[in-house]
Chain A
Amino acid sequence: MPAKKKTPNPPSSQAAKTPSIRIRMYRVGFGDCFLVTLAGTHHILVDCGVHNTGHVKADGEDLLQKAFENIQQATGRKLAIVIATHAHQDHVSGYGTFADQFKEFDIGEVWMPWTEDPNDATARQWRGKKEALVGLLQTRLAAAGDAVAAAAVDNATANPAAMQALHSGFGKATVRYLKAGDTVDAPAGLTGFSARILGPPQDQSFISKMNPPGSDHYLRMAITAADGHTVHPFPGWDLEESHLLPDWLRLDAKLTGLISAAAEFSAAAVAFSLDKMLNNTSIVALFTFAGKHMLFPGDAQYGDWAYWYKKTGAEVLSDICFYKVAHHGSMNATPKGALEEMPLGKFAAMASTQSKPFPSIPQPNLITAIGERTAGAFVQSDSIPVAGAVAGPKLGTLPAGFVQGEESQGEYWFDYSIA
């Protein structure tokens, strides 16, 4: 669990009237919704979504709804950049739910990963396969009663309203599809702000890993299996066990059971595989403003990190002052090696998470490690119970540098400010 001790590090800036950077994590449940405010006036929204079985209600209202209300108020309906790191529900659902309201905003730019680009043939083909697979998996997993895998697949279902709104730039914004290697300087007139894009990569080795398992063959077999349709390779040859001659070998019940289990198409394995692929399409962005570096890796998992941090890790990670914990603090989303590159005790971290619907997220060892690496400058979104909501582990007081949203406003977010 996060360290409870108070610590003077990192430097607190609560006294400053207008902090240079303020990062607001809305406590939406299992999802991500971060508002980055630069110099008190310019706003960047990094994701806006919650998982359909991981949402939290307070006073009968979804916390994402409350988050949206605060976004409207805090930004004066003016967002320089809106980012959808990747197309998982728990990162984009709000862009659909509040699409009409967002269209009333003054939005400068919309950022998505290149894998969502409607004009990219590779991306288009891949998305087609993904959609076909998701439908199949939902049927299968519902039948199998595998709630955890089903929740992972639900998260991958397309949200046409959200994606349509994002692709259209909510009517008027410039839309960018980003890939590793891009650098965006002063977007939407944000002088002094730049974003270095570390993921997702667009090279062939990455793309080959992005194909759903077994590629299109797998899909076809899955479709066949889901229809209850099997291929009969030798029509007329089928023999029931009772038809075998006495000296012909046969399998015992244990072996037929084992083989039948192996013959089943493993919906759960494919579901998790698909989930990882989609996570690894996350935009991994290193923001720089006023000489401060902040890392927002979306839900990037091992494969995405591995691509870049081993080469550029020390350089990119060694002087960050803020880290948005990837993939809700899951085990393989913050590689140990990467965490060890981050400057000990000199950065803060936030994780938007809760243990529903995935009991193994967040991962306790990782949370402890982040707590230690940040010297306690770390909060997870469920660490102070929201009245009427599913309670997370009790944290008590917030570490220095973090502020909880005022009670009158619903206490539904945590702020971290950088001078």
Chain B
Amino acid sequence: MTAPPNKPVKRPIPPPPFRLLRAFAFDPSCSRHYGNYMSMQVPFEPDIQPGPAGQHVAVVDYDAANKCYYEPIDLNDHRILAGDGLNPSESDPRFHQQMVYAVVSETIERFQFALGRDVHWRWHRSLGNWPFQDKLLLLPHGVQDANAYYDPKMRAIVFGYFTASETDPGNNLPGQTIFTCLAHDIIAHETTHAIVDGIRPYYMEPTNPDVAAFHEAFADLVALFQHFSMKDAVLQALRGTHGTLFQSKIAPEMKSGADGPLLIAQVETGNPLIGLADQFGDGIGLHGPLRSAIGTPPNSRALETMTEPHDRGSILVAAVFDAFFSVFLRRTDDLWRIAGISRDEARDVDLHPELLARLAGEASHMASDFETLCIRALDYAPAVDITFGDYLRALITADHDLVRDDDLGYRSALIDAFRSRGIRPEGVPSYSEEALLWRGPDETLALPGLRMVPLYTSREERRAIQEDDAKQLFQFAREHAGIFGFSDVKHISVESFHSVYRVGPDGNWLIEMVAQVIEKGAKNDTAGEPNVFGGVSLVFNPDGTVRYCIRKSLKNRSENQAAFRRDLWERTSAGPYAAFRSLPVDFRALHRGY
């Protein structure tokens, strides 16, 4: 045996799992509290282009108000790579681009983890010759407006900037420029709108009061749960709330004397974990955060009167967070007992840092579970005309499929929280778990010819399999129109077909295929006949048998949908002065409030 020749070789270096990028955990107004200056781990894309432009997104910094571009950041510049990105700066647009890219990427990653597949953006017919391949366009300084919105017609998230109120600027300087693209919550919220639109495009058709509200609520849920992945913030909030976490106010560092607070340290502050977009809310002259998850005690009648999508959506957000915090309390009982202190006693003492760390760990872990569950439930939600009650059924079914025994009590907590807020699923006899689970078809339905997309494959092969599966499903749906609740097979289309590879908390795989078939009802705006939609979302086992068939048949809902859409038009300000239109959900107008 001779030794190998001693000549230099270039051994492969494994790609890093993450790229570290600096960002604000909340927004610039939060200064350095709550770990606001954070480094985010985003998937490493070796070939990222200046912008940044990666696999899923392209940041293009065009400013329509000033009709100019701002120089794009090159994340592969060695100085930027070595420094974990640029340092947070309000005055360097390249940091803004970096932060938008980082938060959008993190949000996409969370969805891909939960869904067990890649996210894709919606194809809108207006896109035409779209220049950015499969990417979502991100415009960090698109418009001068106190607004940020996802626009499917541009396949873009447009972030606005504006000057803070002169008279009522909150924590901002009067007249200071506020950038919506530096608010972590706003970025996560808008990204969620875009992802949901890719998964359930017909949720942009407001066919009942819950549809637009669901879009808003869901985007808030994702943004809020992300707060709990920020360890420093959770720790500080736990300390300030003496371990209860869900209080809306954080106790001051020092109690005030009889004359009231004399120092900033004596002023109680809002709990940033459960509020959204503080700086934005302050900047437009509202006091405090834009919306708060935990606002009002459960009121089973609130849904009857709340129709504005944000108000209505806040009920859904509150229900999910009620369940989250209930499980958190139940699951941390043992920690309090071990520490030998009750929650009531804790109000007057500073808690041991190790207890806080354990509580924080539980909170983060559970938040991640809940967020994953919320996202995963989308695949179990109806294709059209969703209601909050449907979403409860989707949550219960999704969790049931992955975690057979409800040992942590997630499902019972969700059911209790939804019930206490008057969210009633249609067509179920009770709130029992068994009643809420979606059911499979009455007779066995199978499409044995369906093929799963392999885990690692080319884009072309994936597309070929998807198209083939969709064709088979289309044919099947035409032949089984009655089972799927279709009234006229001439107007049906297969909207999506995906293979899903999920891993449960116990390490078990859940492999399935999900698809949607849509039926479009009559439309004639000039005659005042709104767009109405029926549809079915299907969950298949890998062998092609149908596990769930979640139907929304036009037969018994076209009139309700039409009446709601007419009503929606009548409530618009322009209604009296123009002819009827089937209005889609318009995030730009919705966020603006007219």
Contact = CB atoms under 8 A, between A and B. Distances in A.
Contact of A233 (B60, B62, B177): B177
Contacts of B58: 249
A365 to B, nearest CB: 7
8 tightest A-B CB contacts, nearest first: A330-B576, A272-B573, A332-B570, A238-B68, A263-B64, A263-B143, A213-B594, A217-B284
B433 interface: no
A106 to B, nearest CB: 37
Interface string B49-93: 111010000101011111111111000000000000000000111
B145 A263 contact: yes
B118 interface: no
Nearest to A234: B93
Contacts of A221: 144-146, 162-163
B50 A327 contact: no
A221 B284 CA distance: 11
Interface string B143-183: 11110000101101010011101111000000001010000
Q: Interface size bucket, B side?
A: 35 or more
A195 to B, nearest CB: 26
Interface stretch (B37-45, B395-403, B585-593): B585-593
A377 interface: no
Interface residues of A, number: 62
A254 B576 contact: no
A214 interface: yes
Interface of B: 49-51, 53, 58, 60, 62-72, 91-93, 128, 131-132, 137, 139, 141-146, 151, 153-154, 156, 158, 161-163, 165-168, 177, 179, 283-286, 528, 570-579, 588-589, 592-594
A63 to B, nearest CB: 23
A251 B72 contact: no
Nearest to A362: B576
A213 B70 CA distance: 31
A151 to B, nearest CB: 9
Contacts of B151: 258, 262
Contact of B284 (A215, A231, A243, A365): A215
Contacts, number: 173
A243 B69 CA distance: 9
Given A213-B593, A233-B179, A248-B51, 10 more contacts: A213-B592, A217-B162, A220-B166, A231-B65, A263-B145, A270-B594, A302-B570, A330-B576, A332-B572, A358-B576
22 contacts: A149-B577, A214-B146, A217-B146, A218-B592, A221-B162, A231-B144, A233-B93, A233-B161, A234-B70, A234-B91, A248-B69, A248-B71, A251-B60, A255-B156, A262-B64, A269-B594, A272-B572, A273-B573, A301-B576, A331-B575, A332-B575, A360-B576
A229 to B, nearest CB: 10
Nearest to B151: A262
Contacts of A333: 576
B68 A239 contact: yes
A22 interface: no
B576 A332 contact: yes
Among B66, B70, B142, which residue has the most Cβ atoms of chain A within 10 A? B66
B66 A238 contact: yes
Contacts of A152: 577
A214 B72 CA distance: 31
A260 interface: yes
Interface in A208-236: 213-218, 220-221, 224-225, 230-234
